[in-house]
Amino acid sequence: MSDDWKRDEKEPGSSWSRQEEDTWREASAWDGEKNQSGSSDSTWEEQPSNDTTYSWVNPKLREKNEQKEYNDNEAKYTSYQFSQPQEEPQIKPVKKSRGLLKKFGLCAALAVVFGVISGLIILGITSLGREKEDTQPARIQETVPATEPVQSQSSSQENAASGSTVADVAANSMPCVVAISNVGIQEIQNFFGGTQEYQSESSGSGIIVGQNETELLVATNNHVVAGADTITVSFIDESSAEAQIKGTDANNDLAVVAVSLSDLSGDTLSAIKVATLGNSDNLVVGEQVVAIGNALGYGQSVTSGYVSALNREVTVDNVTAELIQTDAAINPGNSGGALLNMQGELIGINAVKFASNEVEGMGYAIPVSTAEPILDDLMSRETRQKVDEKDAAYLGITCTNVTAQTQQMYDLPAGVFVDSVNEGGAAQNAGIIKGDIITKFDGTTITSYDELVNTLQYYAAGEEVDIVVMRAESGEYKEIELKLTLDARPADMD
């Protein structure tokens, strides 16, 4: 009890009545029990129950007790309860959910499985792709189209009008130009009137114009490969390979030779290009052009000039053609090389030079618009190799050349004039008669006896070929096509 409260109380033994004293003693007994509980200045309420619960309540904080928590600077109030001792519940640690981990693990496992499967699929596709590549020839890239001139290493040279320079054209086009070496046997008349054979070698140029599944196809002049026993083609990377004649057209001085792709290395196939064909019909006089070829057999060289004239009629070795005239230097060895416009497109095949002490800068090229359909036909032919002498074919005729002079005097077509026909021979059986002029043999144009003999070297006895002759009927020559089965060469001719 507080001192103030005690001062107001009456001491026992004073003028108290018996009733007051009893009352005081009961109050004192209660106060002692209260002090033992350790609290004061609060109301006490009794609940009529054996399991009595006691609550200390501050009426002024009733509303605040409902909020449970306050700011850190304020007191926290909770209700204290006294009741029968109860075992404090054990708080079990909450296990963190492993659902996310399980999902992550599942995703990782699926990713690994997917990766393995994808790797196997890609490996299989790659293997199939390689197998497919093995069955297909490597495709050789073409020169850059005209709309995209090649950038040269020298940036100081620019041509605002055409968008490319001579250096650009050379860098782009030299990979499609090759050098051709021709080794053959030449017969030369000796001092005593007889003939003697000598091995001869000549050089020229060619242009890569296409490829098929097994061959690289090179266009050149007919006179570059005529009479060749062996033909060797050299490429921009200085590698070389043997070539076979695929087809020739002597009337237009064109030929196609084939190089087996299996004879070329991967480095060579990557270094070379197929020429892009232009349109020579669009040329104009004064247009700048570039000539590339194997001049004098020294290797590739580049010259430049202008279109001097168009459709110039030129006759060489009984062959007359309308050609592009240019002042770009075309020297021996340039035959079969490329004449290009400033977009790097092939517009002509160099063929002829006017050689004279009084003349300079007059070279000629076959227009590509004239050459293209002929080359397409030659490229589609079967590539042949020379047959063994024991299998050599025989026609059974004697013949002579129709010279240019004879053509003019008698108005004869170019070809081989048949002087006589062996009885029972291949020619007679096919219907050839004396006086016919052979102009084509199995699609190959024939203009001389030597060309006919060289062509026969690639055919074996027993083969059937188409042969075209010009026959005089009613004062004019008419074209006749015949089927001919080749004979074997007689034993007495060996």
Predicted confidence band of residue 1 (pLDDT cuts 50, 70, 90): very low
Question: Which range has the top average pLDDT, 20-24, 41-45, 196-200, 396-400?
Answer: 396-400
pLDDT of residue 97: 45
pLDDT of residue 264: 94
Distances 195 to 198, 232, 351 between C-alpha atoms, Å? 10, 27, 30
Candidate list 223, 249, 301, 442, residue with the active-site label: 223
Q: Which residues contact 297 (CB under 8 A, 6 or more apart)?
A: 179, 181, 203, 333
What is the overall mean pLDDT for the chain?
Answer: 75
| CB-CB contact of 446 with 440 (8 Å) | yes
pLDDT of residue 187: 63
Quick check: is 173 catalytic? Answer: no
In terms of Cβ atoms closer than 10 Å to its own Cβ (0-12, 13-18, 19+), residue 354 is middle
Quick check: is 223 catalytic? Answer: yes
> pLDDT: is 424 or 407 the higher one?
424
pLDDT of residue 453: 87
Candidate list 152, 335, 448, 487, residue with the active-site label: 335
**Residues 175, 181, 185: CA angle, nearest 5 degrees:** 165
pLDDT of residue 164: 81
* CA gap 431, 395 in Å, rounded: 12
> pLDDT: is 199 or 7 the higher one?
199
- With b for 16 or more beta-carbon neighbours within 10 A and e for fewer, the 431-460 pattern comes to ebeeebbbbbbbbbbbbbbebbebbbebbe
Instruction: Please write the tens of the pLDDT for every residue from 68-99.
Output: 444 444 433 333 333 344 444 444 443 444 55
Quick check: is 253 catalytic? Answer: yes
pLDDT of residue 343: 93
Candidate list 249, 253, 436, 442, residue with the active-site label: 253
Please report, for the chain, how many H helices and E strands are present, in that order.
11, 22
Domains parsed from the chain with CATH numbers: 3-82 (no CATH), 167-271 (2.40.10.10), 280-369 (2.40.10.10), 389-493 (2.30.42.10)
DSSP string, 186-255: EEEE-TTS-EEEEEEEEEEEEEEEEE-SSEEEEEE-HHHHTTEEEEEEE-TTS-EEEEEEEEEEGGGTEE
From 33-42, 56-65, 156-165, the region with the lowest mean pLDDT = 56-65
Predicted confidence band of residue 474 (pLDDT cuts 50, 70, 90): confident
Mean pLDDT of all residues in 98-121 = 59
242 phi and psi angles, rounded to 5 deg: -80, 145
pTM over 0.75? The answer is no
Q: Which of 314, 332, 300 is closest to 224 using CA atoms?
A: 332
Q: Is 278 helix (H, G, I), strand (E, B) or coil?
A: coil
pLDDT of residue 339: 96
* CA gap 78, 345 in Å, rounded: 99
* CA gap 121, 106 in Å, rounded: 22
* CA gap 224, 256 in Å, rounded: 11
* CA gap 423, 432 in Å, rounded: 11
Mean pLDDT of all residues in 351-378 = 88
Question: Which range has the top average pLDDT, 14-28, 52-66, 256-270?
Answer: 256-270
Instruction: Please write the tens of the pLDDT for every residue from 212-233.
Output: 989 999 999 999 998 788 899 9
In terms of Cβ atoms closer than 10 Å to its own Cβ (0-12, 13-18, 19+), residue 255 is buried
pLDDT of residue 5: 43
Predicted confidence band of residue 469 (pLDDT cuts 50, 70, 90): very high
pLDDT of residue 21: 57
* CA gap 289, 236 in Å, rounded: 21
From 43-57, 280-294, 354-368, the region with the lowest mean pLDDT = 43-57
